[in-house]
Amino acid sequence: MSLPILNPELRLTTTPEPAMSEPLLRACCVTVSYGGKPAVRDVELEIARGRITAMIGPSGCGKSSFLASLNRLTDLIGGCTVSGAAMLDGRDLLAPDVDPVALRRRVGMIFQKPNPFAMSIRKNLEMPLKANGVRSAADRRDLAEAALRDVGLWDEVSDRLNHSALRLSGGQQQRLCIARAVVLRPRLLLLDEPCSALDPMATQRIEELLSELRGGCCGLDSTEEEPLTQVVVTHNLAQAKRVADDTAVFWVRDGCGVMIESGATQEVFENPREEETRRYVGGLQG
């Protein structure tokens, strides 16, 4: 379903859609620093359109820092600075004139710990729609239902939409958070260890959901339709193999995070270029 009312100010660009073979996002020399000290440096990475990219690597190698820069959450961290460029639809999302609030509508973020708003299930979805210009209550209700169906929650919660979202299980809360992001039809969904606080069953459900959303449409209106692109940070290598088309490996070299290799997941796991990757995916280090 498309958003019936589109606030033109929320669009990053009005240029025609590029071909599917063009990457959705191209990070060029992205460095994230805290207090002037680089945590992850010079990341060069292309995120393929409509696919799922995993980011893997040991703790502290800058996966979360890099991910957070892509929807400008890094703006909110005191002492954090980001340099380089991250081209999304031909525009640098790191540029100072990009409105981070509008950007976050196009680039959603899901965290390790589900963070639904302390309000009803219904309001968790309808509030962002209202804030983004969907004025009709009937449209908001329909779009909320569609998002709950998208994440497979509708049958589980349709009889208690007015109950607090905090009464849902952890796995249901995480799916609600994904619904809250996809209800705005983002171009890109960033997920930072979305399953690490969940049990194996809930984890499996989220993995299935990511695969289902993979073919989903993120069109904001009838002229702009393309499948959702997802980036998922995970420590679970089996999960990366199961869900990701592409994988980027981060490492710490000389005390700083770097992206050491990326490519098709099967290639990265079965025929890695870097010795660190070989040891890491072989379970010897990390």
Ligand X SMILES: Nc1ncnc2c1ncn2[C@@H]1O[C@H](COP(=O)(O)OP(=O)(O)OP(=O)(O)O)[C@@H](O)[C@H]1O
Binding flag, residue 64, Mg ion (CB under 5 A): yes
Q: Which range in 31-39, 60-68, 117-125, 268-276 contacts Mg ion by CB under 5 A? A: 60-68
Nearest approach, Cβ of residue 254 and ligand X (Å): 13
Residues that bind ligand X (CB under 6 A): 34, 39, 59-65, 77, 257
Binding flag, residue 234, Mg ion (CB under 5 A): no
Q: Which does 18 bind (CB under 5 to 8 A by kind): ligand X, Mg ion, none?
A: none
Total of chain residues touching Mg ion, rule CB under 5 A: 1
Task: Give whichever of 181 and 191 is closer to Mg ion, judged by the CB atom.
Answer: 191
Q: Which does 60 bind (CB under 5 to 8 A by kind): Mg ion, ligand X, none?
A: ligand X
Task: Give whichever of 65 and 172 is closer to ligand X, judged by the CB atom.
Answer: 65
Q: Which does 262 bind (CB under 5 to 8 A by kind): Mg ion, ligand X, none?
A: none
HEC assignment per residue over the chain: CCCCCCCHHHCCCCCCCCCCCCCCEEEEEEEEEECCEEEEEEEEEEECCCCEEEEECCCCCCHHHHHHHCCCHHHHCCCEEEEEEEEECCEECCCCCCCHHHHHHHEEEECCCCCCCCCEHHHHHHHHHHHCCCCCHHHHHHHHHHHHHHCCCHHHHCCCCCCEHHHCCHHHHHHHHHHHHHCCCCCEEEEECCCCCCCHHHHHHHHHHHHHHHCCECCCECCECCECEEEEECCCHHHHHHHCCEEEEEEEECCEEEEEEEEEHHHHHHCCCCHHHHHHHCCCCC
Nearest approach, Cβ of residue 32 and Mg ion (Å): 12
Nearest approach, Cβ of residue 55 and ligand X (Å): 8
Task: Give me the 159-188 binding string for Mg ion, x by CB under 5 A, dash otherwise.
Answer: ------------------------------
Distance CA 15, CA 106 (A): 15
Task: Give me the 117-156 binding string for Mg ion, x by CB under 5 A, dash otherwise.
Answer: ----------------------------------------
Q: How many CA atoms lie within 13 A of 163 on its CB side?
A: 12
Q: Which range in 44-52, 58-66, 131-139, 210-218 contacts Mg ion by CB under 5 A? A: 58-66
Q: Which does 72 bind (CB under 5 to 8 A by kind): Mg ion, ligand X, none?
A: none
Task: Give whichever of 97 and 254 is closer to ligand X, judged by the CB atom.
Answer: 254
**Binding site residues, Mg ion, CB under 5 A:** 64
